[in-house]
Amino acid sequence: MSLKDKNIVIGICGSIAAYKIASLVRLLVKEKASVQVLMTPDAKEFITPLTLATLSKRPVLSDYIDRYTGTWNNHVELGLNADLLLVAPATANTLSKMAHGSCDNLLLATYLSARCPVMFAPAMDLDMWHHPSTQENVKRLLGFGNILIAPESGELASGLVGEGRLAEPEEILQQIQQFFYRPLPLKGKKALVSAGPTHEAIDPVRFIGNHSSGKMGYAIASALQSLGASVTLVSGPTQLPTPPNVNRHDVTSAQEMLAACTTYSDASDIIVMSAAVADYTPLKVASQKIKKKDGNLEIALKKTTDILTTLGKKKTASQTLVGFALETENELQNAQDKLKRKNLDYIVLNSMRDEGAGFAGDTNKVTVIDRKGQVQQFELKSKQQVADDIVAIIAAHQGL
């Protein structure tokens, strides 16, 4: 699988495993990729820029400015022109900086400017790799949509044996090739995803809301995009970063979410409504903060417009409409009833009884039911893996 015309930026960090990147650069050039090497200052202690420049046929960049010529190494341009940024070997130090937005060298500045996909291949000692802070940083980077090339197990520089070895150059090359040539069954399809909670204003400072984090919907948006779909994400209030190459439309209330979803739905081939939309909203919103008084406070509520029902009524035969159901009793029956009433193709059932499922966490356990009554149960997985399962079902349905 040739990588001809692919612009690949490799960021090398200060690790003994840096020597392996010489072989990787050679393999990539052999596959006709255009390779630009960046090095952190510490990386030059382990392998020389001259070696990598000779193999890549390009000057190796490490500083913001070439102090001999005054040339500025434009990190923005590097990030914008790349088809892929690979950070390898990625040290614990660099992983931490990437995860938290630190920027003290050219590689990190390029990472923060990159709009292309990012892969990272960690290399470090066993205990460093398994330390909770490192694992949390990896989880954070995966949440940004970055792609992990997992370290291998074997003998380490310290003499310990276990996980932490940089993946071999041939394995890294294979994962890069698989990334560029992965199937895109949803290419040309437009997808609409709703995610997160809604906040229904009581007064200028208070609202009615729920505990939805938006993680499931964001994972679905990312999974749809990874299979080639053009994705619009209508998001309630959340602190989650926008998945790469996804168009995000922020809303606050159920009414705003309804307006946005109905606007985008007509042009969408795939509609996944995973947001936790409020069923009720205050009848009147106070213009000033409600002051505390003696006695109870009563707030009159009115029903919000059901977004799934609205979209189900206008759904066309070519559209795939997916809803979610969070149940606490008679789960399967209630979900099947909701699927029929709202004219859905699929409904994804969460049970609050399942440990590790539901709001806020990073895992979920779902059951997917289709309009023919077929039921698929999945084990507890990460929300990204759950999203991949759901999107695989959608992609198969779109291919009918």
pLDDT in tens, 279-321: 999 999 999 999 998 889 999 999 999 999 999 999 999 999 9
Looking at the structure, tell me whether residues 245 and 361 fall in a common domain.
yes
Q: What is the largest CA-CA distance in the chain?
A: 80
Q: What is the pTM of this model?
A: 0.67
Annotation says 210 is catalytic: yes
CA atoms lying within 13 Å on the CB side of residue 360: 4
**pLDDT score recorded for residue 307:** 97
- Is residue 302 annotated as involved in ligand binding? no
Token pair 């993680």 is found at 215
As for how many domains the chain has, the answer is 2
Domain residues for the domain of 364 are: 190-398
pLDDT band at 107 (very low <50, low <70, confident <90, very high): very high
Catalytic choice (7, 73, 81, 210)? 210
Looking at the structure, tell me whether residues 199 and 138 fall in a common domain.
no
Q: What is the CA radius of gyration of the chain?
A: 24
pLDDT band at 333 (very low <50, low <70, confident <90, very high): very high
Assess if residue 326 is contained within a domain: yes
Looking at the structure, tell me whether residues 175 and 266 fall in a common domain.
no
Q: What is the mean pLDDT of residues 340-356?
A: 85
Report the alpha-carbon distance of residue 372 to residue 336 in Å, rounded: 10
**pLDDT score recorded for residue 163:** 86
Q: Is residue 95 within 8 Å of 11, Cβ to Cβ? A: no
Last-in-domain residue among 159, 180, 201: 180
Q: What is the mean pLDDT of residues 254-271?
A: 97
Report the alpha-carbon distance of residue 386 to residue 271 in Å, rounded: 17
- Is residue 203 annotated as involved in ligand binding? no
Q: Coil, strand, or helix at residue 269?
A: coil
Looking at the structure, tell me whether residues 219 and 349 fall in a common domain.
yes
Q: Which residues make Cβ contacts (< 8 Å) with residue 164, sequence separation at least 6?
A: 122, 123, 124, 125, 126, 128, 129, 151, 153, 156
Token pair 């602190």 is found at 239
- Is residue 284 annotated as involved in ligand binding? no
pLDDT band at 131 (very low <50, low <70, confident <90, very high): very high
